Structure 1
């Protein structure tokens, strides 16, 4: 069984989305301090992490967009784990329904949009004129029963304006969104299985995941 990492590593101070603070990673209990609690030769460290939910590679639940939407606690595991994948190779900036034409049966599958934009991760270019899904294409994916939609770009929506139609359409349909993917070039068009489950956090709409794919034999 081959596993492929599809996530960005989280590090202190890193930038995920313009305007959002980077994570703070520190120590709550150091190895040295733990000596006061354990016998000689036994030591532990406990780290403290402070960050916004939209850090690194993360999942958006309906509660990210809708006040009465399903949050991470209640998001079905079946919509996040062991999903069959359909990888769409996209080269246009605005991904329209025509760009999704090659894919056929997507019901119950994670549709992963491979744009190659992850090559700009960690640079100013990552947030500039990035590939995104149009409202019409989001509607097509919702109507055809996608279980999850992911992209290896800064946002599933275009950032030129303030509207977020792809989020609005997909999250209204209960379809989780997975953003800031990487490594999609290592996946086949079909056949891989996606895992991208965040912690079950009550009242939280988005959180980081260690997304990965299991490749077919």
Structure 2
């Protein structure tokens, strides 16, 4: 059995989705002055590698506290969707359905983390998101979002808003974003990705893939 950490480190000044709160990781108590150390954290609920609850985009959607803990352990199917910049991920690009309960989109765009290029990731079409719902999948991606991220290279014909989020979260599915290192994984693996114990619209997670027996 092997384990792989698919999570981004939480650090001051790290990249966030446009408009999200900045991340600060700062000393609060110093060992020399106070005899102990405490670090102050300030960040949004969608910092780094995180999970979206339905309430993220749905007015009456469930918060994370509604979901039993077992929900955050998955039998995952990897989908190789390493397409061009700002390319739509259609139903045709997705693998044949399996008995997995999480479809993990390997866009390869984690290589661009922390750069302006990271905004130009492939995105899930509304039809592909609905297909995921129809086949019982939650969805994860190694990109900033399952929808197009606003940026200077956005095309005039791209969907705006959060069509894929609405299709998934509106159906009670979970969405994970900003995974990393998916090229190390086989097509099927287990994923444990637990949120903080916060009843909110989302939370950073420690996403750990488990392969083998």
TM-score, scaled relative to structure 2: 0.89
Instruction: Render the CA deviation track for 1:72-117: whole Å, top value 9, x for unaligned.
Output: 2222322212x111000013321100011x33224x5111000101
Aligned to 1:98: 92
Is the contact made by 1:8 and 1:181 (CA closer than 8 Å) also made in structure 2? yes
Q: Distance in 2 between matches of 1:27 and 1:135?
A: 43
1:87 aligns with 2:85: no
CA contact (8 A) 1:95 1:133 kept: yes
SS of 1:150 mapped into structure 2: strand
- Which position in structure 2 is the counterpart of 1:208? 204
Q: Which residue of 2 aligns with 1:56?
A: 48
CA separation in 2, counterparts of 1:207 and 1:88? 24
Q: In structure 2, how many angstroms separate the alpha carbons of the residues matched to 1:91 and 1:177?
A: 19
Is 137-146 or 157-166 further displaced after alignment? 157-166
Runs of 4+ in 1 over 6 A off after TM superposition: none
Name the TM-score, length of structure 1 as normaliser: 0.88
Q: Considering only CA atoms, is the larger Rg found in Structure 1 or Structure 2?
A: 1
> How far does residue 125 in structure 1 lie from its aligned partner after superposition?
0.5
| Structural mapping, 1:103-122, within 5 Å | 103-106=96-99, 109-122=101-114
Query: Match for residue 38 of structure 1?
Result: none
**Is the partner of 2:92 in helix, strand or coil?**
helix
1:67 aligned partner: 59
Asked if 1:155 is matched to 2:149, the reply is no
Alpha-carbon contact 2:64-2:198 (below 8 Å) kept: yes
SS in 1 for 2:93: helix
Which residue does the alignment assign to 2:131?
140
Contact 2:15-2:113 at 8 Å conserved across structures:
no
Q: How many aligned residue pairs are there?
A: 202
- CA offsets per residue over residues 116-139 of structure 1, 9 Å max, x none? 0100001110012x1110000000
What is the CA-CA distance between 1:11 and the residue it aligns to?
0.8
Q: What is the Cα deviation at residue 200 of structure 1?
A: 2.2
- 1:32 offset after TM fit, Å? 2.0
Structure 1 unaligned blocks of 5 or more: 36-43
Q: How many angstroms apart in 2 are the aligned matches of 1:138 and 1:201?
A: 26
Look up the SS of the partner of 2:64 in the other structure.
coil
